[in-house]
Chain A
Amino acid sequence: MQILVNGIIVGGIYALMAIGFNLIFSSVRFFHLLYGIVAVLGIYLTRFFLLTFEINFFVSMFLGAAIAALLGMAFWQWLYKPLMDRKASSLVLMVVSFGALIMVQNLIALIWKNNTYSISISETIKEGYHFLGITITFNQLVILLTSLVLVILLELFLNKTKYGMAIRAIGDNAEMTTILGLKTNQIILIVFFIGTFISSIAGTMVALEIGVKPTYGLFLVLKAIIASIIGGIGSMRGAMLGGLLLGVVENIGIYYLGGGWQEVTAFILLTVFLLFLPQGMFNKVQISN
């Protein structure tokens, strides 16, 4: 039971990561690997605000995420868009994205050193809450609530507002949307802002659990990709369920095999899905033949 709860909490974070990733993927259709490292940058900024200005945790998290989100927009405008305009293949964009990921990751390592830092909401370590034989720490409660609130907000935004509908329209058919007279680039910029913002907050949640390190960028984006593919890339609900499933399966793997095999379980899950259910649980776009 405890494994399941832990799995759901971790899965909640993965789900957040996957939703942001999916949002971006469904509008631009390539693997935006930088996504992970920009989230890590957001965590470091959060930590920076927290330590230097000693402001409230949530305010710092918001500031860090906002700056990261602006950077995400900048990457689209100045790194990807020139290549997109030249009709580069998704593979080229992924390679460029990977190159940029390596650069940003090492830049972070140069500025903040290669150590693992932890982040906490308050100075005193609070005891866990016990009920029904399950223990949940204060941090985990925050993680759970933040994930829930963000998912609900995003669902409302995508389904009820004009911009949300435009974003979904681009996801369905970008060319058609342009022909209909919507400003595609502006909408994609908004997508990058929202996606990166979510990723940075999800990243901060990860940091609450296990700390932060420059190399986590790749780790985070891979989890987002795995969760998205499991859920069916392009589908928000799929990403959510995929994230949860990934979290639970990983935790079961850790319980039975030991912590060293966490990544292995994740990738075996991915391989199984790619081989037997390549369209994921909620298919929209098929990614393999």
Chain B
Amino acid sequence: MEYILHLAIVVTIFSILAMSLNYVAGYTGILSLSHATFYGIGAYATAILTTQHGFSFVPSVMVGMVLAAVIAYLASFPILKLKEDSLVLVSFGFSIIMFNVMLNWTDLTKGPLGIKGIAAPEIFGLSFFSKPLFFALVFLTAIVTYFFFRRITKSPYGIIIKGIRENRTVTAVNGHNVLRYQRSVFTVGAIFAAIAGSFTATFLAFIEPKLFELMPSVLILIMVILGGMASLKGSVLGAFILILLPEVLRFLGLPPSILAEVQQMIYGLVLILVMYLRPQGLLGEYKI
């Protein structure tokens, strides 16, 4: 039961990440490989503020959100100057830069040693130390995230950002400031990633830069692509499949020494198969 709850929490956290990336990549067409960076910013904000500066959980999440928003807004200037392939590369470069900052700014982040002993969240005196309660909290956040993005993407604003994805020239001709829309989308996506990061920090009680490297960014993007671009339910499904697949392997009796490699090979295979067989993903509406 403990184990199932653990998996459920991981799936839910990744659902939040995948949904927020889908908002950026699927709905607006900004195929960003830096989502794990903002996830990391949230995690580090909570970890540093709660262990070293006596903050409680909620204010630390808010600081993380603001920080992620500011950094995402600034990063969006160089990143959004580009399109498609080169955009992917530069967003990737940005995530490498931020990873190196987390790794090398040891005064703040303790570098590769990571930060230990992050306490479980406590909101209004109620501690979420027990797994079921923590799951309820994360689940609630995921539901809020889902309805938030659903509401946005069905609004007039959402129609414009989908227009940007389909044809930015036409959208621009219609008098919409494409870059401003893209920037706001990128920033909002980052804010939700930061929330997921705060949850991860308190859930694992330990974080290190490696958790927010390239591979997690890729994993989140694979979830979005597998689930389907511009489909929030698809993203949840993608998170569900890609988190549970490696666990199935564990049950099949694969030795733990090669588990990590086989797991990543599966991610690669999923990517290739989706591109070959169903470029729009399982529930998606448009092809990348």
- Tell yes or no: A125 within 8 A of B by CB: no
Q: Which residue of B lies closest to A79 (CB)?
A: B272
Cβ 8 A contact of A106, one of B31, B265, B276, B279 = B265
Partner of A271, one of B93, B262, B271, B288: B93
Give the distance in Å from the alpha carbon of A275 to the alpha carbon of B265 in the complex. Answer: 35
Chain A residues near B90: list those with CB within 8 A: 267, 270-271, 274
Q: Does A186 count as interface, using CB distance less than 8 angstroms?
A: no
Question: What residues on A are CB-neighbors of B287 within 8 Å?
Answer: 92
Question: Apart from A31-B85, A89-B288, what 9 extra A-B contacts exist at CB < 8 Å?
Answer: A88-B279, A99-B272, A106-B268, A109-B261, A225-B89, A258-B104, A260-B104, A264-B100, A288-B82
Partner of B262 from A92, A106, A267 at Cβ < 8 Å:
A106
B86, A98: Cβ atoms under 8 Å? no
* A91 (CB) vs chain B CBs: closest residue: B84
Contact pick for B275, options A99, A105, A222, CB 8 Å: A99
Q: Mark B260-288, 1 if CB is under 8 A from A, else 0.
A: 01101101111110011001000000011
Task: Tell me which residues across on chain B come within 8 A of A107, comparing CB atoms.
Answer: 261, 265
* Given A30-B85, A271-B78, A288-B83, also A102-B264 (CB < 8 A): yes
- If A30-B85, A260-B104 touch, does A98 touch B271 (CB 8 Å cutoff)? yes
- Which residues of chain A in 80-127 are interfacial with respect to chain B, using CB atoms and an 8 Å cutoff? 82-83, 88-92, 94-96, 98-103, 105-107, 109-110
Residue of B nearest to A102 (CB): B268
Interface centre among A88, A91, A261, A287 (most CB of B within 10 A): A91
* Majority SS at the chain B contact face: helix
CB of A99 within 8 A of CB of B269, answer yes
CA distance A222 to B258 in the complex (A): 27
Tell whether, in the assembled complex, residue A90 and residue B268 are in contact, meaning their CB atoms are under 8 Å apart: no
Across the interface, which residues of A come within 8 angstroms of B264, CB to CB?
A: 102, 105-106
Q: Output the nearest chain A residue to B269 by Cβ-Cβ distance.
A: A103
Number of interface residues, chain B, beta carbon within 8 A: 39
Given A275-B81, A288-B81, A288-B82, A100 contacting B279 (CB threshold 8 A): no
Residues of A within 8 A of B86 (CB): 229, 274, 287-288
Interface size on A, residues (CB 8 A): 42
Give the distance in Å from the alpha carbon of A279 to the alpha carbon of B112 in the complex.
37
Can you list 25 A-B contacts (CB < 8 A)? A31-B85, A31-B89, A94-B85, A95-B225, A95-B271, A95-B275, A96-B272, A96-B276, A98-B218, A98-B271, A102-B264, A102-B271, A103-B272, A218-B214, A260-B100, A260-B104, A263-B100, A264-B97, A267-B94, A267-B97, A270-B93, A271-B93, A274-B81, A287-B85, A288-B82
How far apart are the CA atoms of A225 and B275 in the complex, in Å?
Answer: 23
Residues of A within 8 A of B82 (CB): 274, 288-289
The answer on a CB contact under 8 Å between A91 and B31 is: yes
B96 touches A102 (CB 8 A): no
**What is the CA–CA distance of A98 and B33 in the complex, to the nearest angstrom?**
12
- Chain A residues contacting B63 (CB-CB under 8 Å) are none
Provide the bound-state CA to CA distance between A107 and B101, in Å: 30
By Cβ-Cβ distance, the 10 closest A-B pairs, closest first, are A99-B271, A102-B268, A267-B93, A103-B268, A106-B261, A99-B272, A260-B104, A99-B268, A106-B265, A288-B82
Q: Does B244 contact A (CB under 8 A)?
A: no
Chain A residue at smallest Cβ distance from B168: A289
- Shortest Cβ distance from A31 into B: residue: B85
Query: A276-289, CB under 8 A of B: which get 1 and which 0?
Result: 00000000000111
Complex interface residues of chain A between 240 and 266 (CB less than 8 A to chain B): 258, 260-261, 263-264
